[in-house]
Amino acid sequence: MKNKNIKISGPVFSLITPFTSSGNIDYKSYFKCIDFYYSQGVRIFYLMLYNSRLGVLDEKETHVLNYRTANFLKKKYNNTIFIGAEKFEGSAEETISRINKLSKYPVDMFSIIFGEKYYNDDQLYSHFKYINNKTKIPLLLHLQKMMSGFGGEPPVLNYSLSVTKKICKLKNFVAIKEDAKEINFTKKLIKEIKKDVSIIRSGGGMSVWKNFKSLGCQAWLVGIELLDPALAFDFLQALKLKDKYFIKNLEEKIETPFFNEVKKYGWHLFIKSCLEDCGIMQRDERLPMKALSGQKNKAIKLFMNKLRNDSKKYLGKKYFSKRKIF
């Protein structure tokens, strides 16, 4: 029988890992960020492979970050959902070991990714089926493009529709992070798997998600809402009330300019500078990533000031009384 105890819907907030100037995880800022998000209505927290910088953490740090987040959330805010995650590399046995070590902590769901080159669908399915059969915790399939094992073109590949459907039928798989960036594929996939798993759309934010919502896509991975969490709930209220003017302003004046700036600097570096400007965390990073500095960081500060002014001008505090604008 399918594990259906947890349903994901609405905005999903990935947790950005802050660092100190010496390169250590800044847990003080990290938990302060969670407190702020919760106060603004956030209830689903996702420790995600890339956004949470697991690639530059060692195995122990990743494990500690998972269980400290789980313990913090469940002891302080027990009406939340926490999705843990693993590092990119490792065998199926290593993934099983990571999951089972964390199962004694209040991790609601665990996100897993295929960290090997792709050769065939049987290889993919066998990997996830084996993990499914050896673990009990609800699982999220991180649908990340894979490197081809054959070389040539294309160098990266999406999961096929057929193998994704099979994986989503497995008992412990209850959610999927969909990030194919191919609209027709996404539409077909939603139609095929919406009854089996919760679907988190990644990429494009609220503007893109609303186009998939009517097809059965239940959730989206937030973007600009990491700076202004209540935007997500204003947006949902506007959808409910069919407030086309608010939605149009949100898309054209706020979200689209935000994503256009992301393209200039890259997601990780840009969002860290923005979070620093909001007073949430420092922009420090670990190599090979280097925090933006000088004129680039100054330009982001100017952009953030404009975004604040535009947010007040075009959106205000129309729906959500607790909202803190950036």
Owner of token pair 């935007």:
231
Residues 55 and 181 in one domain: yes
Indicate the number of domains in the chain.
2
Print the domain residue range for 293: 242-326
Mean pLDDT of 38-56: 93
Measure the CA–CA gap between 174 and 196, rounded to whole angstroms: 7
If you average pLDDT over every residue of the chain, what do you get?
A: 92
Residues 115 and 178 in one domain: yes
The beta strand positions in the chain, using DSSP E, are 10-14, 44-46, 81-85, 109-112, 139-143, 146-147, 156-157, 173-178, 198-201, 219-221
Domain-embedded: residue 232: no
Dig out the tokens for 211 from the structure.
């186009």
pTM of the entire predicted model: 0.94
Mean pLDDT of 20-45: 95
Domain-embedded: residue 264: yes
pLDDT in tens, 199-252: 999 988 999 999 999 999 999 999 999 999 999 999 999 999 999 999 999 999
Domain-embedded: residue 156: yes
Dig out the tokens for 178 from the structure.
């969909």
Mean pLDDT of 131-136: 95
pLDDT recorded at residue 215: 95
Measure the CA–CA gap between 158 and 144, rounded to whole angstroms: 7
| 15 closest CA partner among 7, 5, 35, 23 | 35
Residues 108 and 213 in one domain: yes
Task: Residue 57: give its domain's CATH number.
Answer: 3.20.20.70
pLDDT recorded at residue 70: 96
